[in-house]
């Protein structure tokens, strides 16, 4: 689940290391990813913030923060591929699609979206599932921003209410 929102352009510029430049819309993507059977790592969930930006005129994404609930993909992602991964307790649940991120014992972020799905067909085949056309909500918990800033190599400032 990815929630895209617009933020303050000056704050966004501050979060990007040189030579990255923000895109005109000042967008941020907050995402939850459930990896049910990742090759070599097993099952884990991650949550994080991605900033669309430009590098030498080309559109790219800067991964500002990533939080996972399993050590091997954290270490591989951080030490081999250079992603800013930290241990936390992200969750992604389906019915109402709900993503949460708990870090250092605090609820830091929560996103929800209505989700339509059908149960497994009687013959065991999966039936189609489609996201409903409902509002997506992202709530960044007030007071938790200091936790995020101290936990990341690239501090990010988030809105605290919607």
Rg, C-alpha atoms of the chain: 17
Q: Catalytic residue, from 85, 91, 116, 133: name it.
A: 85
Give the whole-angstrom CA distance, residue 25 versus residue 36.
33
Of the candidates 102, 133, 93, which has an alpha carbon nearest to the alpha carbon of residue 116? 133
56 is catalytic: no
Q: Which residues of 52-73 are buried (b: 16+ CB within 10 A; e: fewer)?
A: bbbeeeeeeebbbbbbbbbeeb
Q: Which residues are the active-site residues?
A: 85
């Amino acid at each position: 689940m990815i929630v895209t929102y617009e933020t303050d352009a000056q704050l966004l510029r501050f979060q990007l290391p040189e030579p990255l430049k923000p895109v005109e819309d000042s967008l941020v993507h907050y995402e939850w990813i459930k990896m049910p059977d990742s090759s070599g790592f097993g099952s884990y969930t991650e949550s994080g913030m991605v900033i669309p930006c430009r590098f030498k005129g080309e559109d790219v994404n800067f991964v500002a923060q990533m939080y996972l609930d399993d050590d091997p993909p954290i270490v591989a992602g951080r030490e081999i591929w250079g992603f800013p991964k930290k241990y936390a307790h992200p969750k992604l649940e389906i019915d109402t699609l709900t993503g949460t991120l708990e870090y250092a014992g605090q609820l830091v972020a929560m996103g929800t979206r209505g989700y339509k799905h059908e149960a497994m067909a009687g013959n065991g085949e999966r039936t189609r599932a489609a996201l409903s056309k409902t509002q997506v909500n992202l709530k960044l918990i007030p007071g938790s921003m200091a936790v995020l800033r101290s936990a990341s190599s690239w501090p990010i400032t988030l809105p605290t209410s919607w």
